Amino acid sequence: MENGNVPQLTYAMTPTSATVSTTQNFKLTVTNPSSTFSVTMKKSGDQISISNWSSLTASVSQISPTAPPSTNWRIGLATSYIKIWVVADTVIAPGAKVEFQINNVAIDANVGQGSLSILEVIGGIASNPPDIQIGKLGAELQIFAYANPVTVGLGQTTTMNWTIVKGLYVTVVPPDDGKQYPRKGSGPFSFAIQSQPFQDARQTTFTLTVFQDAGTWVSTPVTVNLSPPIITLLSNDPPAPISIDGTMSLAWNAVYATAATLTPSTGSTNVPTSGTKSYTSSNLKKLVNNNQSQLVFTLTAQGYLKPAVSQLVVPLQPVNINWFRFADMQHTSFTYDVSNATNVSLPSISGPAPYTLTAQGPFGPVQQSLGANDVEVLVLNADPPAIQPGGSSTLNFQVQRASSAVLDPGNVPLTFDGSGIGQQVVSPGSTTTYTVTAFDAAGNRASSPITVTVTAKAARMTTKRKKPTAKKPTTKKRKTTKGARR
């Protein structure tokens, strides 16, 4: 491949040979060879070009290409090449194929073979798949041969295909084992075997010879490439920056590879050469070292010559303290909520104020103090924290060094006594997060949120039932510590 990019699709033409000076109809099959990944052809810019038709026919302008009906696929004949494109973004599923008819190809009179060149542009990436070889057969002793694929990895084999006109048997070298593959029947005869190239050379040229007798034979060379491993995909989902409180998956693909490793890992680093891996929140937090702001994954693919290495940098969302406050008006325990944290250090409630909460995680550490000489929301709770539609909840709060306070949503003014204690009744129609914001005389502010959950109303029961017991609600990552305060 001239540009070093690996094609995403494979291409095959049938029949693979035609008699000279005849008109032949061909079927072009375009296949997604991956068993894991889809290929998307976009209507803006993606296309497939097949050129060098003059090696097969002297009448290129007479060729009649046809796309599959009732699809987004289109095919047309340009001045000297055939162009394939789509009129809407089209996904080719793993293992799926698209078939085109290329009719009215007038094979010229030159015995030998035609070689059709392919240019694939998918996702803005251009690549050159192997040429399509078409044998042009005459009446004399002849052999037409090709390998599919023409490039393999270490330990992999290719299929050696040939068609002979006349002749009694065919030999394939290497290996030089003297094995003969006899023809069957009369007329042109096609056959195929599995062949492995030399494992210590970039190219192996196989010589296929058809014999009529010991003194009458014709040979043709077929070259197979042994490629080092190539990594064609290493990506993450969802897109970065990611939350380590959520989940993430990695997808990768390495061709011409015998084995692969993926680091860092919470388990074995050995992975298939193509696949996906899911990471839970627990997995992600184990991979974050101290307060690093990103994860760097390294895929290493082994094969012929040197390994292929690719790195994926995944930025992380920062650690954040959503709230830190006393759980009750007596200040006997703390409650807090953090996101994207790998570790939380909580002060002792029995120690002197101010109390400082420290959260470790991406871009951390971050800290928040409670009980200092600043404007603060010391306490905020909801009674009850969960209601049914049409119900109400009382928000109990205590602010410190505040001259005013408001409740959002709604920018509702709040009143409080000399100790900063106040209440506000709310009746949300759906689960709502409320935020109390306190202001001091200088305009400094402090905020703290709380969520009131609105549950579905229970269905009416016609049979005798027990009195329901209210289920204590839980808040994600919310924790409370208790103890006697000095």
β-bridge pairing 17-19 and 132-137 = parallel
Judge if 22 and 134 occupy the same domain.
Answer: yes
Residue 353 lies in a domain: yes
Would you state the pLDDT for residue 413?
Answer: 97
Would you state the pLDDT for residue 485?
Answer: 39
Distance, C-alpha 47 to centroid of its chain: 22
Q: Which CATH number fits the domain that encloses residue 207? A: 2.60.40.10
Residue 234 lies in a domain: no
Say whether pLDDT at 387 is over 60.
Answer: yes
Judge if 2 and 146 occupy the same domain.
Answer: no
363 close to 339: Cβ distance less than 8 angstroms: no
- Residue 470 confidence class, pLDDT cut points 50, 70, 90: very low
Judge if 203 and 301 occupy the same domain.
Answer: no
Residue 237 lies in a domain: no
Judge if 32 and 152 occupy the same domain.
Answer: no
- Residue 3 confidence class, pLDDT cut points 50, 70, 90: low
Percent of the chain with pLDDT over 70: 93
- Which are the contacts of 398, defined by CB distance < 8 A and separation ≥ 6? 326, 329, 377, 378, 379, 380, 416, 419, 420, 421, 422
Beta strands in 264-401 (DSSP E): 270-271, 274-279, 294-302, 308-315, 320-326, 333-339, 343-345, 355-360, 366-370, 376-383, 386-387, 393-400
Q: How does pLDDT run across 403-424, given as a tens digit for each residue?
A: 999 999 999 999 999 999 999 9
Would you state the pLDDT for residue 433?
Answer: 97
Residue 236 lies in a domain: no
Say whether pLDDT at 461 is over 60.
Answer: no
Would you state the pLDDT for residue 187?
Answer: 86
Judge if 150 and 182 occupy the same domain.
Answer: yes
Residue 235 lies in a domain: no
Would you state the pLDDT for residue 486?
Answer: 33
Would you state the pLDDT for residue 202?
Answer: 96
Say whether pLDDT at 181 is over 50.
Answer: yes
Residue 477 lies in a domain: yes
Say whether pLDDT at 52 is over 80.
Answer: yes
Q: How does pLDDT run across 120-144, given as a tens digit for each residue?
A: 999 999 999 999 999 999 999 999 9
Say whether pLDDT at 484 is over 50.
Answer: no
- Which are the contacts of 258, defined by CB distance < 8 A and separation ≥ 6? 153, 154, 155, 229, 273, 302, 303
Say whether pLDDT at 464 is over 90.
Answer: no
**Reported pTM:** 0.82
| Residue 1 to residue 30: CA distance in whole angstroms | 18
Q: How does pLDDT run across 81-119, given as a tens digit for each residue?
A: 999 999 999 999 999 999 999 999 999 999 999 999 999
- Residue 149 confidence class, pLDDT cut points 50, 70, 90: very high
Domain carrying residue 171? 139-227
132 close to 119: Cβ distance less than 8 angstroms: no
Would you state the pLDDT for residue 340?
Answer: 97
- Residue 379 confidence class, pLDDT cut points 50, 70, 90: very high
SS3 54: helix
Say whether pLDDT at 475 is over 60.
Answer: no
Which of 138, 159, 183 is where one domain is finished? 138
Would you state the pLDDT for residue 481?
Answer: 53
63 close to 82: Cβ distance less than 8 angstroms: yes
Judge if 352 and 446 occupy the same domain.
Answer: yes
Q: How does pLDDT run across 4-50, given as a tens digit for each residue?
A: 689 999 999 999 999 999 999 999 999 999 988 999 999 999 999 99
Judge if 113 and 144 occupy the same domain.
Answer: no
Would you state the pLDDT for residue 431?
Answer: 97
Which of 227, 260, 280 is where one domain is finished? 227
Judge if 292 and 339 occupy the same domain.
Answer: no
How many domains is the chain partitioned into structurally?
Answer: 4
Judge if 334 and 292 occupy the same domain.
Answer: no
| Residue 240 to residue 318: CA distance in whole angstroms | 12
Which of 198, 227, 256 is where one domain is finished? 227
Judge if 453 and 393 occupy the same domain.
Answer: yes
Average pLDDT for 160-164: 97
Say whether pLDDT at 474 is over 90.
Answer: no
Judge if 159 and 282 occupy the same domain.
Answer: no
Residue 240 lies in a domain: no
Q: How does pLDDT run across 287-329, given as a tens digit for each residue?
A: 999 899 999 999 999 999 999 999 999 999 999 999 999 999 9
386 close to 451: Cβ distance less than 8 angstroms: no
Would you state the pLDDT for residue 290?
Answer: 84
Other C-beta atoms lying within 10 Å of the C-beta of residue 315: 14
Would you state the pLDDT for residue 472?
Answer: 42
Residue 354 lies in a domain: yes
- Residue 480 confidence class, pLDDT cut points 50, 70, 90: low
Say whether pLDDT at 225 is over 90.
Answer: yes
Distance, C-alpha 310 to centroid of its chain: 15
- Which are the contacts of 380, defined by CB distance < 8 A and separation ≥ 6? 323, 325, 395, 396, 397, 398, 436, 448, 450
Q: How does pLDDT run across 442-453, given as a tens digit for each residue?
A: 999 999 999 999
- Residue 458 confidence class, pLDDT cut points 50, 70, 90: low
Q: How does pLDDT run across 202-215, given as a tens digit for each residue?
A: 999 999 999 999 89
Would you state the pLDDT for residue 373?
Answer: 86
Judge if 145 and 254 occupy the same domain.
Answer: no
